[in-house]
Structure 1
Amino acid sequence: MLERWLYKRVDNSALIVFRAIFGFLITAEAWGAIATGWIKHTLLEGEFTFNFIGFDFLQPLPGDGMYYYYGLMGLFGVFVMLGFKYRFSVIAYGLMWTCVYLMQKSSYNNHYYLLMLLLGIMACLPAHRYLSLDVKFNPKLKKISMPRWVYIIIIAQLWIVYTYASIAKIYPDWLDASMAAQLMAARKDYWLVGDFLQQNWVHWSIAYVGILFDGLIIPALLFKPTRKMAFFISIFFHLFNSFIFHIGIFPYMSLAFTLFFFPAETVRNIFLKGKELYSGNEIIKPKTYKPIVALFGLYFVIQIALPLRHWIIKDDVLWTEEGHRLSWRMMLRSKGGRISFKVIDKKTGLEQSFNYRKMLSRKQQRVVATKPDVIWQFCQRIKEDFAKKGKEVAIYVNCRIKVNDSDFHTLIDPKVDMASASWDYFWHNEWILPSPLHNEKRKPPYAPEGLQ
């Protein structure tokens, strides 16, 4: 029964149009990184990048190599858009994007992670079976239908992303709108809307509209009576985010996903007027359907489990960052930090401070002052540099951070030799001091005029 439901053929208009938009957007993402200076500021400034732990071999190419790298990625994006060598092109872009994603954490963004997942999903979908160069060169590939599981996978992935994003916002600094106020304070100089964004009612609206939109948008798009209203709300919500937060292609990708919620006939009539509408009732089940169902089942179990892991890791994820990544915790907090490193020669006992700024870009300096895993990585780097000089050293860190509008507190145990400390990939690292956030006396709730 399950396989009949999954493999029933449905019209593929939404997938074909989405492929073209998706290809355009990933092209813009790659070539935009060149045009905006993102590559320079994120990958080339500083002596090295803070890769995901365990992927130390992933470092930027020398010279202008990364510009050529992103140029090639953009070309693969064009091929995806045109449906040319589709499977190869989307896999190639996906592998190159994954390497860059794992290469650096200074510009970590949940949307980068989402794009990595989407590239993997798109590689599995028959998105080149109509209106593509692949079909032009090989007409036998042409199809006007696809299995129903295509819709299910895309909608399920979106539901996971939005639901966890909504749940993550349910914590004190978001619920009292103070986090929204901080986000908007950084945008007070925006042309035309800067002063408007500083109004109290705007902060409260952002806080609660954010929770409700993320939590309800997928059900609202699935439910026919609310679909059109949800679509127009989505347009406003995502364009607002694009203008205010400058988060790249994600708002437009999100709008493109709404194609999968509207009837195929509507999508066909707007975008593919010359295409025949599939109206059959076929069920085409591949011989390997059981492994395919098992594979995607495992994938979604992992996707559901990953954002929950911080609940079983000791202490507060806002403080430790353990379990923060890969969890759809978007724009939830701001952090500031002050850090210094003391290096002691184990043989001579000579102490010296280490000037970390000479090795790191400004962006990296901000990250190394607040993220425990990056601090640990940097200490290992310092240790290796001294080892090359024939010196064995101990490294002690004095790091104080503030989360949102809290006071500064010590993050790393100053008595622990970080050169000898180990990194626990899955559980809590005891050299991170206990979070003071729950014990700190909260400031009076942020409230709009008339609600104090």
Structure 2
Amino acid sequence: MMQADNPIMWLRVQLTKRVDASSLGLFRIVWGLLMVWEAVRKLPKVTGIYSPEYFHFKYSLFPFIEPLPEVWMMRVEVWFMLAAALLITAGLWFRGASAVFLLIYTHLFLIDKLYYNNHFYLTILFSFILAISNADACYRFHWFRKRSPVTDEPPTVPLWNLVLLRGQVVVLYFFGGIAKLNSDWLQGEPVRYWFSIKPPDHILAPVLSQEWFVWLVCWSGLLLDLTAGFLLLSRKTRVPTMLVLIGFHLTNDQLFKIGLFPLIGISMLLLFVDPDRPRKVFVWLTQRWKGATVTEPQEALTAATSKTAPAAWGLTAFVVCFLAFQSFWPLRTWTYAANPSWTEVGHCFSWRMMLRHKDAFMQFTFDPPETERYLEQHPEILPKISQAHLQRMVKNPHFLLQYAHALNETLEAQGKHNVKIHCYSVVSLNGRPYQLMIDPEADLATASYGFFEVPNWIVPLERHKRAGLYPKTEEARQEAIRLAIQGIKRKPAPQTIIQASGSAPAETLRQ
């Protein structure tokens, strides 16, 4: 009666209620295998995006994170991450392996903001939760350690282990849907454009050009994101929702290049099955295989559950605060008057998925003009930037500012002080006519980028411009860019030290 009248006490009891560890253990194995694959995929990037020789775009709160000083060190780091993922899969030295994997993966994630991806962010959150959980309580391998004594009682874990993971999945889906409540998505952009550039031999080519399919993908994706997490929590709607989500993720895998996320999305469904379901399935399979009868220790599990003690206040506060923060943090984008897809302010860590396609052209110019001639004569002093970095930089105001600051530091090191750096940037968002993104009068050498505000040197997106007006040909695109540049009152100098045009494949821009 006290628990019914006291919600906090009820919550404390529920969080430490013991449940079968089977579903969490199976998820740990599948998750570990996916992380093994993720580590293998990162090995070639050691000489690319993680290489210490390149200039890296930083997160505002973590400007001090750097790659290891040598490429071989980066390679060793990734190999350690791979070993940790294997140990996680096996359930060996689980807590230590999880901590190592989390630290290395987070370091690689924070090295360069260029490749921010929502499923990378999700990997960090899941890795953290697993590291503090008892996910190794079930289905551990015993190759190098003595087997645990056999008991009549199945392994159990406190319910808060599943509450955190399930809660994070609900947040992922729901706020992914909230982010889609914008005029572009509701009108079919940029999905319509992405479908239009698919090759004619694509497996879904017959329907990609159909307008009804565009509307089906946009609106079904919106409704599924808004409801899927909550429907998974109910036994009555869980199974049909799982079937729909499996089809949804498999379709996304065919339509978009989004890495491991479809497999991660399917694996997350294991967290919502009844905790003892995998064990019962394995028992049934054993009976079928061996022809023997195996008694399920259900009574022991019930007895263990009935003796649950209330969770400590610290644990209860941690679970509540973690899920509350994850629920409120994405909402910060709604406090900005500007569109995050345009300004990039608040775009990261907000589950804003598949919302924008940008095409851009930019030029850096310098005042005094002789600075440009100096840099042309000494290109070796420029911060080294890869083609991938250049393609993304032209679309992102924060990246442009960081590179301008790096240029200014380089010039000051060469004795060139008080140089003003201007940028002529025209961008098209989701097929809108090209317009200025950066104020050409602003001095990026001294401009700043506030973490919780839209900088005044970013030109607001013109709201009256309609989306979906993509140039039909490359010639039409070049002409549209030329006309947009001519519309700038202060015309750019004819010679510039850095000039770039970005029309990267849409797959690189979706997360």
Structure-2-length-normalised TM-score: 0.79
Deviations 1:58-91 (A, max 9, x none): 3333233333322221111000000111001111
Residue 8 of structure 1 pairs with residue 33 of structure 2: no
Whole-Å Cα distance in 1 between the matches of residues 245 and 270 of structure 2?
12
Whole-Å Cα distance in 1 between the matches of residues 261 and 467 of structure 2?
34
Q: What does 1:312-391 align with in structure 2 at a 5 Å threshold?
A: 312-345=335-368, 350-352=370-372, 359-391=384-416
- The SS at the match of 2:361 is strand
Deviations 1:150-185 (A, max 9, x none): 222111111111001111112121112132111222
- The SS at the match of 1:399 is strand
Whole-Å Cα distance in 2 between the matches of residues 441 and 28 of structure 1?
42
Whole-Å Cα distance in 1 between the matches of residues 175 and 335 of structure 2?
16
Contact preservation (8 Å) 1:188, 1:197: no
Structure 1 residues not aligned, in runs of 5+: 445-452
Larger Rg: 2
Paired amino acid for 1:163: F
Q: How far off its partner does 1:271 sit?
A: 4.3
Whole-Å Cα distance in 2 between the matches of residues 130 and 228 of structure 1?
24
Q: How far off its partner does 1:285 sit?
A: 3.8
Residue of structure 2 aligned with 1:44, choices 51, 56, 66 = 51
> Which residue is equivalent to 2:169?
158
Contact preservation (8 Å) 1:220, 1:226: yes
Residue of structure 2 aligned with 1:279, choices 295, 299, 302 = 302
Paired amino acid for 2:411: F
- The SS at the match of 1:42 is coil
Whole-Å Cα distance in 1 between the matches of residues 246 and 183 of structure 2?
28
Shift of the 293–190 alpha-carbon distance from structure 1 to 2, 3 Å rule, reads: farther
Residue of structure 1 aligned with 2:438, choices 390, 399, 412 = 412
Deviations 1:188-214 (A, max 9, x none): 355433343222222111111111211
Contact preservation (8 Å) 2:430, 2:467: no
Whole-Å Cα distance in 2 between the matches of residues 218 and 319 of structure 1?
28
Contact preservation (8 Å) 2:189, 2:467: no
Paired amino acid for 2:214: H
Shift of the 241–299 alpha-carbon distance from structure 1 to 2, 3 Å rule, reads: same
Whole-Å Cα distance in 1 between the matches of residues 42 and 56 of structure 2?
17
> Which residue is equivalent to 2:116?
108
Shift of the 217–141 alpha-carbon distance from structure 1 to 2, 3 Å rule, reads: farther
- The number of residues matched between the two structures is 438
Contact preservation (8 Å) 1:4, 1:283: no
Whole-Å Cα distance in 2 between the matches of residues 27 and 212 of structure 1?
33
Structure 2 residues not aligned, in runs of 5+: 1-9, 287-295, 470-511
Contact preservation (8 Å) 2:23, 2:275: yes
Deviations 1:8-48 (A, max 9, x none): 111111101011111111111111223xx444443339722
Contact preservation (8 Å) 1:82, 1:132: yes
Paired amino acid for 2:54: E
Q: How far off its partner does 1:284 sit?
A: 3.8
> Which residue is equivalent to 1:432?
458
Q: How far off its partner does 1:441 sit?
A: 4.6
Shift of the 130–407 alpha-carbon distance from structure 1 to 2, 3 Å rule, reads: same
Contact preservation (8 Å) 1:13, 1:272: no
Structure-1-length-normalised TM-score: 0.89
Shift of the 141–299 alpha-carbon distance from structure 1 to 2, 3 Å rule, reads: farther
Q: Which stretch of the first structure deviates more once superposed, 14-23 or 256-265?
A: 256-265
**Cα RMSD after superposing both structures:** 2.7
Residue 230 of structure 1 pairs with residue 241 of structure 2: yes
Shift of the 141–149 alpha-carbon distance from structure 1 to 2, 3 Å rule, reads: farther
Shift of the 400–283 alpha-carbon distance from structure 1 to 2, 3 Å rule, reads: farther
Residue 28 of structure 1 pairs with residue 34 of structure 2: no
Whole-Å Cα distance in 2 between the matches of residues 159 and 267 of structure 1?
22
Deviations 1:375-423 (A, max 9, x none): 1111111011112112112211111111001011111111111111122
- The SS at the match of 2:101 is helix
Contact preservation (8 Å) 2:23, 2:276: no
Paired amino acid for 1:111: H
Whole-Å Cα distance in 2 between the matches of residues 409 and 12 of structure 1?
55
Deviations 1:305-326 (A, max 9, x none): 2111122124221211111100
> Which residue is equivalent to 1:449?
none
